[in-house]
Amino acid sequence: MSHPTAATPGPAELRRATPDDTDAVARIWHEGWTDAHLGHVPDALVVARTPASFPERARERMADTTVAVHRGAVAGFVMVAGDEVDQLYVDRAARGADVGGALLRHAAQTVRDAGHPRAWLAVATGNTPGRRFYARQGWVDEGRFVHRAPVPGGTVEVDCHRFASPDR
């Protein structure tokens, strides 16, 4: 997977995550996940996503994580796995500053650079703000599907929409 060491799309500098970013990524991930998912996913997934699970998961995913640095601090991140934009979250204080758009454009390019024709991602059906964000970015809602979210010991089925990157 190709990650530029530094780029400046929009208001944020994008760079490969380092272990020093773990705490910031975990905090942003936990807050963003809570904002986007509580009330929209099965209780079994909420139980699995404890506050302690986010630093552990962030450490495990550093190799495929890109962070956005905005105003001197990590303001968001994206994780790419194959052709999937697996996680994308922006710090509450940086929302609306195109940090998410910059990360999403970077993720789509990373997927293309890896030889895949299009990127895709899953958004919980009840996460209306998330679905609106991806639509504003030009991503195509390909409809509902059941996403199997990984949890310790298995998966939890989540009603989601599959969004695909625009053809470019």
Question: What are 10's two structure tokens?
Answer: 């929009």
- Number of structural domains in the chain: 1
Q: Is residue 7 part of a domain?
A: no
Contact predicate 120/165, CB 8 Å: yes
Question: What are 135's two structure tokens?
Answer: 């639509």
Q: Is residue 6 part of a domain?
A: no
Which of 83, 56, 66 lies closest to 3 in space, CA to CA?
66
Question: What are 13's two structure tokens?
Answer: 């500098």
Q: What CATH number corresponds to the domain at position 69?
A: 3.40.630.30
Interval 35-65: pLDDT, tens? 999 999 999 999 999 999 999 999 999 999 9
Domain residue limits at 99: 13-164
Report how far residue 23's alpha carbon sits from residue 99's, in angstroms, rounded to the nearest whole number: 19
Contact predicate 114/2, CB 8 Å: yes
Q: Is residue 120 part of a domain?
A: yes
Neighbours of 10 (CB within 10 A): 18
Q: Compute the average pLDDT of residues 117-142.
A: 96
Q: Is the pLDDT of residue 9 over 60?
A: no
- What is the per-residue pLDDT for 134? 97
Q: Is residue 3 part of a domain?
A: no
Total-model pTM: 0.90
Q: Is residue 4 part of a domain?
A: no
Q: Is residue 58 part of a domain?
A: yes
Give, for 135, the enclosing helix (H) or strand (E). Answer: helix 128-136
Interval 92-108: pLDDT, tens? 988 888 899 999 999 99
